[in-house]
Amino acid sequence: MTENKNIKSIVAKVKERIDATQKNAADNPPWIKQVAMLTGVLAAISGFLVVRSTAVTNNAIYESNRAILSQTQASDAWSEYQADSIKAHIVETALATAQAASTDSRAALTKQAADLRARQPKLKQTATDKTAERDQHLQIGLKWLAEKDLLGYAGFAAQLGIALASVAALVRWRTPFLAGIVAGALCIGITLYAFAAYYGIAP
């Protein structure tokens, strides 16, 4: 008998809690049901923005490293170009002042100067190409960084929207919920603009 009374008591308490929950749910304004959907959507967008920001950061670092490599290669090419220019000038000076040198010596000096001068156009072109390549990598890297900044603002708007929606649900006040919707729309707008700006669709 005692066990039956305990079971009936537990069942009665559970039924009371269910009834209370249903009563509270009935008292909730209609828009409360949309809070969970809004926070879920904004949380999903926030997760995407985190992943995208990480990828964008890695791409910016990669482009920066490529720019440094291109700058190093350009500097090496220019240094070699200048060194060959100095060597050629020395050989040409020696050739001009060595009037008593043998024909073979003069021929060797002439060939050496010609070889040094022949190498210079290619070295100059390499240096110019690598400089242009560096500038291109820097430009791409700046685009990635600009997108990262925009995605950061979008992520902040998403988090703000989630916070406002949570406050609205706690205090049963619709104004923060509407503000959360605006923040969510702003988040989506900034995200779309970031992609459009990277691909050159938007300024």
* Length of the chain (residues): 203
Average pLDDT over residues 63-67: 95
Q: What does the mean pLDDT of the chain come to?
A: 84
Cα gap 37→100, rounded to integer Å? 95
> What's the whole-model pTM score?
0.70
Q: What is the DSSP letter of 1?
A: -
Cα gap 156→123, rounded to integer Å? 49
Condensed to tens digits (0 to 9), the pLDDT of residues 133-178 reads 999 999 999 999 999 999 999 999 999 999 999 988 888 888 889 9
Residue-level pLDDT at 75? 94
Half-sphere exposure of 87 (CA within 13 A, CB side): 18
Show the tokens assigned to 172: 């049963």
Condensed to tens digits (0 to 9), the pLDDT of residues 7-56 reads 767 666 656 655 554 555 556 778 888 888 999 999 999 999 999 999 99
64 vs 1 pLDDT, higher one: 64
Average pLDDT over residues 100-116: 76
Q: Where are the domains of the chain?
A: 31-198
Cα gap 95→111, rounded to integer Å? 11
* Portion of the chain with pLDDT greater than 90, in percent: 48
Instruction: Identify the three-state secondary structure at position 100.
Output: coil
Residue-level pLDDT at 21? 47
Using CA atoms, how far residue 18 sits from 13, 28, 33, 56, 57, in Å, is: 9, 15, 18, 49, 50
- Each residue of 129-155: b (16+ CB within 10 Å) or e? ebbebbeebbebbebbbebbebbebbb
